[in-house]
Amino acid sequence: MNTSLRLKSSLLSLLLLAALVMVWHVATMPRQALPLSATTLTPEQIEYQKMLGKDPAAAGASSAKSAGFPTPAQMGQTILRHFSDPIYDNGPNDKGILIQLAHSLARVGLGFALACLVAVPLGFVIGMSPMLYRALDPFIQVLKPISPLAWMPLALYTIKDSSVSGIFVIFICSVWPMLINTAFGVASVRRDWLNVAATLELSAPRKAFEVILPAAAPTILTGMRISMGIAWLVIVAAEMLVGGTGIGYFVWNEWNNLSLTNVIFAILVIGVVGMLLDLFFARLQKWVTYVE
């Protein structure tokens, strides 16, 4: 029953994918009637086109390139090309896809780790103290909805290093969901468990690490998962702004090169990596979740 359901859904997914590629293929098929064909033009017009650097006689040969949107076949070639040589470094504008990804992941990882270091302990304290919760709430509420990219100029001005600014932006966007979820998780630990901790005369560290932390862990992990999702969204935009390295910069660079195949390839890679990151946190979440 369950396996047949899984089989059916997988089959449907594959069918949908096939249909999608089919539509794509049909939509990007090279058109026969080219607007600039040597046969339809007067000699003057041909001369004029040649002066503009476009050779109508050669147009037929290069039609695949001028068609604009890449075909699925071209996409496939590009993907193969990228994966056959993922790690190379031919200067600032030409790096292997894995190198770009590694740069992005390192920024996200670093910013996210810093956010964890700040948000989880702070969230713990806020969650334990209703007074602090209320005192800090207005700040959190105002700072939370700010687009992380809005911090960019300020970060660039104060930090004066584009790469570190990117990390800062990741930090600032990851910190809020984690902070709020940790505080909420800690504040809503069941009274009973705290009472048990009290009657067993637990020391404060034992109470924090052996009662409150495991009790709040699922909520904290949810916050982390949300944070990671946002961080991965933001890194692309941040790297487009900051430039230099990373998958976001790659997208922007390929746009400047007008290489849509590479842009589409990068989009796919961003999606897959984002999914893997989310899966990883989902796994962690499952690991700490308990059934009451």
Contact status: 199 vs other proteins (CB under 8 A): yes
Please enumerate in sequence order all residues whose Cβ is within 8 A of that of 166, keeping only pairs 6 or more positions apart, or say none: 107, 111, 235, 238, 239, 242, 246
Contact status: 204 vs other proteins (CB under 8 A): no
Contact status: 15 vs other proteins (CB under 8 A): no
User: b/e map of 153-176 (b: 16 or more CB within 10 Å)?
Assistant: eebbeeeeebbbbbbbbbbbbbbb
Among 200, 267, 268, 276, binds other proteins (CB under 8 A): 200
Among 201, 204, 256, 283, binds other proteins (CB under 8 A): 201
Contact status: 214 vs other proteins (CB under 8 A): yes
Among 92-100, 144-152, 201-209, 247-255, the segment contacting other proteins (CB under 8 A): 201-209
Contact status: 255 vs other proteins (CB under 8 A): no
Minimum separation from the CB atom of position 219 to other proteins (A): 13
Of 278, 189, 262, 180, nearest to 223 by C-alpha is 180
Contact status: 257 vs other proteins (CB under 8 A): no
Q: How far apart are CA 260 and CA 31, in angstroms?
A: 19
Helix and strand tally (H, E) in the chain?
A: 14, 0
In terms of CB distance, is 1 or 291 closer to other proteins?
Answer: 291
Q: How far apart are CA 84 and CA 76, in angstroms?
A: 12
Q: Which residue has the tokens 């966007």?
A: 173
Minimum separation from the CB atom of position 287 to other proteins (A): 11
Residues that bind other proteins (CB under 8 A): 190, 192-193, 195-196, 198-202, 206, 210-211, 214-215, 217, 288, 290-292
